[in-house]
């Protein structure tokens, strides 16, 4: 079997934009795909690249990599490249897809004259970004916060280690209103779909509910708040996991409305 890695082409956009969920007849993902690809393409002039893996010509995974100065995640630093997500499809496991993508990321970082590469990994028994995988490839833990850890591989002694952003959130109540504070990220399919669901639900309540949006792809917003994805209803955080269900948000709004009466 032959593995090849290339920068995202037009033929790869649907695969990347839907985060591998191709041909699933899902309207939300189809629409989000267009928004996300537009953003990814727009950020190429700032150094963002999408590395796509093909196994015998078949899409098998991908990796986003970008300068740390523009990354919409809760990592900050300088002169480094960040890859927030690495996707290697389970049906192609044990084929070396992930390793090839990491190698391509390292080469991209060196081509852009960066001092190292960085990601966030998790010490959990789950497929998404497992920290142990990166440790086996020579990454080191810089900073840990619960199960979440910043992992990096430096290329030279001048490299400065990255660190987590500090979070700054203060709820600002509005008398007689339910206030939704939505922190979201167009980079992420899940977050982009979730944000649209929040907007649609809030439109059902007229003037009773106020929506404040904070987009993490805006570096000024990210620096101010240090949060890339979260939902607060009157200052109380909602656990989201995958894309929030509309019914869950409606219930939270109902509770908040009842407290006001």
Structure tokens at 180: 């939704």
Supply the range of the domain harboring residue 88. 3-164
16 located within any domain: yes
State how far the Cα of 188 lies from the Cα of 78, in Å rounded to an integer.
22
The answer to whether position 108 is within a domain reads yes
3-state secondary structure (DSSP) of residue 238: strand
pLDDT, residue 125, reads: 79
Same domain, 133 and 206: no
Residue ranges in the chain whose pLDDT is less than 70: none
d(CA 62, CA 55): 12
One domain for residues 157 and 184: no
Same domain, 156 and 58: yes
**Is 173 within the bounds of a domain?**
no
Is 15 a domain residue? yes
Question: Is 122 found in the same domain as 9?
Answer: yes
The tokens for 54 are: 């093909």
Collapsed DSSP state (helix, strand, coil) of residue 254 = helix
Last residue of a domain, one of 131, 164, 197: 164
Residues 9, 136, single domain; the answer is yes
Task: Specify if 11 maps to a domain.
Answer: yes
185 near 193, Cβ under 8 Å? no
Residues 155, 80 share a domain = yes
Are 182 and 94 within one domain? no
- Give yes or no for a contact between 116 and 22, defined as CB atoms under 8 angstroms apart: no
The enclosing domain of 218 has a CATH number of: 3.40.30.10
Last residue of a domain, one of 139, 164, 189: 164
Question: Pick from 134, 164, 194: which residue ends a domain?
Answer: 164
The pLDDT of residue 73 is 92
Q: In this structure, how many other beta carbons lie within 10 angstroms of the beta carbon of residue 95?
A: 17
State the total domains in the chain.
Answer: 2
The reported pLDDT for the residue numbered 137 is 95
How many whole angstroms separate alpha carbon 196 and alpha carbon 200? 6
Question: Same domain for 209 and 87?
Answer: no
169: in domain: no
Q: So what's the pLDDT on residue 129? A: 87
Asked if 253 and 233 touch (Cβ cutoff 8 Å), the reply is: yes
Same structural domain for residues 152 and 226?
Answer: no
DSSP 8-state assignment for residue 11? G
CA-CA-CA-CA torsion sign (93, 2, 103, 185): negative
40-67 pLDDT, tens digit per residue, is: 999 999 999 999 999 999 999 999 999 9
Helices (H) and strands (E) in the chain, counts: 7, 14
Specify the residue for token string 């792809």.
217
d(CA 173, CA 24): 41
**What pLDDT does residue 127 have?**
76
Q: What's the gap between Cα 261 and its chain centre?
A: 38
User: Residue 211: in which H helix or E strand, if any?
Assistant: strand 209-215
32 burial type by CB count under 10 A (0-12 exposed, 13-18 middle, 19+ buried): buried
pLDDT value for 204: 96
Axis crossing angle, helix 189-202 with helix 246-260, rounded to the nearest 10: 40
């Amino acid at each position: 079997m032959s593995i090849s890695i290339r920068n995202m082409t037009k033929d790869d956009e649907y695969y990347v934009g839907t985060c591998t969920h191709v041909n699933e007849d899902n309207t939300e993902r189809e629409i989000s795909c267009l928004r996300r690809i537009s953003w990814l393409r727009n950020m190429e002039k700032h150094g963002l690249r999408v590395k796509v893996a093909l196994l015998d010509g078949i899409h098998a995974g991908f990796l986003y990599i970008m300068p740390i100065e523009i990354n919409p995640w809760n990592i900050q630093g300088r002169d480094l490249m960040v890859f927030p997500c690495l996707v290697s499809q389970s049906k192609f496991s044990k084929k070396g897809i992930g390793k090839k993508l990491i190698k391509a990321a390292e080469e991209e970082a060196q081509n852009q004259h960066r001092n190292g590469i960085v990601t966030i990994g998790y010490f959990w028994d789950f497929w998404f970004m497992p920290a142990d995988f990166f440790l086996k490839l020579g990454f080191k833990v810089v900073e840990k916060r619960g199960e979440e850890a910043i992992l990096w591989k430096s290329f030279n002694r001048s490299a400065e280690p990255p660190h987590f952003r500090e979070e700054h959130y203060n709820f600002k109540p509005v008398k007689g209103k339910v206030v939704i504070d939505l922190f979201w990220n167009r980079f992420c399919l899940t977050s982009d779909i979730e944000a649209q669901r929040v907007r649609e639900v809030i439109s059902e309540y007229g003037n009773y509910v106020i929506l404040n949006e904070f987009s993490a792809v805006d570096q000024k917003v990210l620096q101010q708040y240090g949060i890339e994805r979260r939902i607060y209803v009157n200052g109380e955080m909602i656990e989201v996991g995958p894309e929030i269900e509309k019914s869950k948000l409606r219930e939270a709004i109902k509770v908040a409305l009842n407290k006001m009466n």
